[in-house]
């Protein structure tokens, strides 16, 4: 019983350390790639879409608003 608790504690501690080491910031090149696509007129796709939904071209939200939305 104590071995199970100890093993659970070790696993949770490792997961906690891994999650604390993960960066929560959006990489700068990700936002730059999205902006470059927007300025070239390429469609920006947001995951899966229904077949009848049109691909939207044109302006999107500014990068600052995009970063706020993703957090």
The pLDDT of residue 61: 54
Position 43 scores a pLDDT of: 62
Query: pTM for the full model?
Result: 0.33
**Per-residue model confidence as pLDDT tens digits over 1-43:** 688 899 999 999 999 888 877 766 666 677 777 776 666 666 6
The backbone torsions φ and ψ at residue 18, rounded to the nearest 5 degrees and listed phi first, read -65, -40
pLDDT given for residue 2 in this prediction: 87
Query: What pLDDT, on the 0 to 100 scale, is given for residue 7?
Result: 94
pLDDT at 18: 85
Q: Cα separations (Å) of 35 from 25, 40, 58?
A: 17, 9, 11
């Amino acid at each position: 019983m104590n071995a199970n608790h100890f093993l659970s504690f070790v696993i949770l501690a490792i997961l906690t350390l891994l999650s604390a080491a993960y960066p929560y910031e959006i990489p700068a090149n990700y936002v730059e790639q999205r902006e470059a696509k927007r300025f070239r007129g390429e469609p920006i796709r947001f995951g899966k879409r229904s077949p009848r939904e049109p691909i939207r071209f044109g302006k999107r939200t500014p990068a600052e608003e995009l970063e706020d939305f993703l957090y």
